[in-house]
Amino acid sequence: MITLKNIPIGKSARVIKVHGEGPLRRRIMDMGITKGTTLYVRKVAPLGDPMEISVRGYELSLRKNDADSIEVAPL
């Protein structure tokens, strides 16, 4: 399983599944990260956390812990 956390800077990926349960899963899906969505990894903070991604026309900062629960397929 490849997660968003493992996608390098400058690469895109398509969401396969959002893992997790309860409030975490709901929060991720409310941010627009749903099955079939294309994500682009823009940059990562100097200490490695958080990472900035482009999704549905806006930029989103996401903690690596949360990114690890998003299963993706690299494009």
pLDDT for 8-51, tens place per residue? Answer: 999 999 999 999 888 989 999 999 999 999 999 999 998 888 99
pLDDT for the residue 1: 84
pLDDT for the residue 20: 85
> Look-up: residue for tokens 């990472």?
51
Assign 3-class secondary structure to the chain.
CCEHHHCCCCCEEEEEEECCCCHHHHHHHHCCCCCCCEEEEEEECCCCCCEEEEECCEEEEECHHHHCCEEEEEC
Q: Where are the domains of the chain?
A: 4-74
pLDDT for the residue 26: 92
pLDDT for the residue 73: 94
From the candidate CATH numbers 1.20.120.1780, 1.10.260.40, 2.60.40.10, 2.30.30.90, the one assigned to the domain spanning 4-74: 2.30.30.90
Q: Give the pLDDT mean for 56-63.
A: 92
